[in-house]
Amino acid sequence: MPELPEVETIRRILADRIIGKQVKGVQLCLRKALRNTSPEELARGLTGAVFTGVKRRGKFLILELKAAKLVFHLRMTGQLLVVKAGSPPPKHLTLKLALSGDEELWLVDQRKFATIDWLPRGGDYPRGLGVEPLSREFTGQRLAEICQGRRTPIKALLLNQQHIAGLGNIYADESLFRAKVRPDRMAGSLSAKEVRRLHRAIRAVLRESLIAGGTSVRNYVNAEGKQGAYQNELKVYGRGGEPCVVCQTPLERIKIGGRSSCFCPRCQS
DNA sequence: ACCACATCCTGTTAGC
DNA sequence: TGCTAACAGGATGTGG
């Protein structure tokens, strides 16, 4: 569930808290989370290294070291936490890094889907991701090109990271409600006006959530363990059966691409 | 090329 | 009340 606003919130905190810190120890508690190298290789490469930057690409978090990169994807329930050294280890601890300054960086993940990639020589990774929705490159025109000629439901297209990087189920549903577009509409069938509305809606929803510190609807907390506030602003996500905040019509819930999708059958067409 | 669906996981909740 | 089954979903892989 950490989507763009949540990952960006974590990024900002990590940038503040770990840049300049040195890795003193590496403890990988869940082997399978580390995808592309061995635990020994990771420990050898990380120990003694200093964090020089923290970046985000889509929902990926990229911790930069002098030459290397440590890349996390939190999937649904992953949490990255900066804690005092010696704090009692939580259930579902996946990775623990001891840092200089008596702090630790934890990757905690209840569902064990989070991934770790170690790139000893850096390089551009992750690859194959679409446009950053809050960047200048994401224009109304760009969204129109993405939708053009596609027969897939617009909701499925918004969730496809190869087109737009960072939207998940929450912000796809919220953006479509704000744009007054049904999630099951064929992407290519949207009018120029609808595409423009959707483009503005995506950017507005993401920006507002970012200001609120993200959405804590399941177990999301930021790198300091604090919840976001955007769950209080959600209009449709997770509200199937409840009245529309605009017209009181009961919200519908359908499945699109295996994901539940909530929308107002009256406001969204 | 494109789409639908299963898979991985575990905690929570709905239903019997 | 206590059990089981469904559900939550990001990315990936498979099969149609």
Q: Which CATH number do you get for residue A155?
A: 1.10.8.50
A53 CA, B14 C1': separation in Å? 45
Confirm whether A127 is domain-assigned. Answer: no
Question: Which CATH number is A83's domain given?
Answer: 3.20.190.10
Confirm whether A224 is domain-assigned. Answer: no
Residue nearest to nucleotide C9 (CA to C1'): A76
State whether A38 and A98 are in the same domain: yes
What integer best gives the mean pLDDT of chain A?
Answer: 92
Distance (Å, rounded) from C-alpha A81 to C-alpha A14? 9
Residue nearest to nucleotide B6 (CA to C1'): A258
Q: What is the pTM of this model?
A: 0.95
State whether A105 and A54 are in the same domain: yes
Confirm whether A129 is domain-assigned. Answer: no
Domain count, chain A: 2
Asked whether residue A4 carries a pLDDT value surpassing 90, the answer given is yes
State whether A44 and A107 are in the same domain: yes
Confidence class for position A165, pLDDT limits 50, 70, 90:
very high
Distance (Å, rounded) from C-alpha A83 to C-alpha A181? 43
Write the CA distances from A13 to A53, A80, A97, A218, integer angstroms.
12, 10, 16, 20
State whether A91 and A145 are in the same domain: no
Distance (Å, rounded) from C-alpha A178 to C-alpha A39? 45
Confirm whether A222 is domain-assigned. Answer: no
Active site residues of A: 2-3, 59, 259
Asked whether residue A212 carries a pLDDT value surpassing 90, the answer given is yes
Q: Which secondary-structure segment (H or E) carries A106?
A: strand A103-109
pLDDT in tens, A217-244: 888 999 999 999 999 999 999 888 889 9
Nucleotides of C under 7 A from a protein CB: 7-12
Asked whether residue A48 carries a pLDDT value surpassing 90, the answer given is yes
Q: Is the CB of A160 under 7 A from strand B?
A: no
**DSSP-H helix ranges across A105-237:** 140-147, 154-159, 169-179, 192-212
Confidence class for position A268, pLDDT limits 50, 70, 90:
very high
State whether A102 and A171 are in the same domain: no
pLDDT in tens, A166-200: 999 999 999 999 999 999 999 999 999 999 999 99
Average pLDDT over residues A128-132: 91
pLDDT in tens, A97-114: 999 999 999 999 988 989
Give the nucleotide with minimal C1' distance to the Cα of A30.
B9
Give the nucleotide with minimal C1' distance to the Cα of A167.
C10
State whether A72 and A144 are in the same domain: no
Asked whether residue A65 carries a pLDDT value surpassing 90, the answer given is yes
State the pLDDT at residue A103: 97
Confirm whether A209 is domain-assigned. Answer: yes
Residue nearest to nucleotide B11 (CA to C1'): A110
Q: What residues make up the domain containing A14?
A: 4-119
State whether A236 and A150 are in the same domain: yes
Confirm whether A131 is domain-assigned. Answer: no
State whether A106 and A164 are in the same domain: no
A159 CA, C14 C1': separation in Å? 20
Asked whether residue A36 carries a pLDDT value surpassing 90, the answer given is no
State whether A148 and A258 are in the same domain: yes
Nucleotides of B under 7 A from a protein CB: 2-11
